[in-house]
Structure 1
Amino acid sequence: MVNTDEFIKRLEIILDYFSLNASSFSDKIGVQRSSMSHLLSGRNKPSLDFILKIIDIFPEVDLYWILKGVGSFPKINEVPLSKKDFISEDLKSSTATPSNSETLPLDLFSEIKNPIVTNSVETQKAENTNLSNTSHSDDLEKIVFLYKNGTFKVYSPN
């Protein structure tokens, strides 16, 4: 839940930083001036739409900072990581290179066009048996799921 008084203080910091008054700020982000006035007076709470408009128009404003006061303003510019940065050299050297018929997509979130499908129950059982017989030096440490919205989840087997 957003603390309205603290949110108003952060909103005033944004106004001062960009040398804007409340009416020019509301015009710039595309909201009614009365909405801005009601928000600054504490009568109304900020809507998600209002916050998203601020983030869209002013990329210097960090979402977590405007909502909770966590982080910094202006936002510290982060160097975006390429897809290659997520793959360690160890993983590259231990992964077999796929043949042309099973080339993996560059985008991890797109579908594989030529999936290898095995319908045989015996084959699946054999693969599971082979997995359970691997040495413990290759134990799984963690799995990281990266989502398009910039969030992630980490799963550890322990």
Structure 2
Amino acid sequence: MRENPAPRPPVLSLAAARGPDAPAAASPDRVNTRERRAAPPGAPRAWAPLGEVFVPCDELAAAHARRLLSAALDTWGLGHLLETGEAVLAELVGNAVRHAGGRHVGITLWRRLSLVHLSVRDGSRALPCLRLTGPPPTCPEDGSGLQAVSSLSFRWGTELLPAGKRVWAEIAV
């Protein structure tokens, strides 16, 4: 049999992946994984996820979402995006609460080098509709819905899921 000439990913031990203070694993003692290159000091990570967080579908959902976003942006060193991000995320969460119903909404935040991605998942499969009536909003609190999201974000969109939908927006860093 001939060997495959394609390079194989390096094999790292679990102890090395967990860190020096982590207890040793009984078995398996090795795991296949791709070795990550160290970024230069101070360089942002290519992406930094915050797993999906579920908040109750009530009038306090937008406040919970704003606190999550504030903590994430502070961690990523992007505090200057807080006002725009809060307006966009509050609108997405508010739409999910007003129009989708359900017991909770899922919020996912992550970033790439040049974008912060905000998404809200709910249980309704009804897609949102962007109304292009009047001039673009000057204030995100004026009830203009997705028109505000469209004007404040780099891009936005929707995804149909097996049990609902996800509405997302990306803000340029």
Q: Is this a same-fold pair by TM over 0.5? A: no
Structure number with higher helix proportion? 1
Bigger-Rg structure (1/2): 1
Structure with greater strand share of residues:
2
Structure 1 length as normaliser, TM-score? 0.30
Larger RCO (alpha carbons 8 Å, 6+ apart): 2
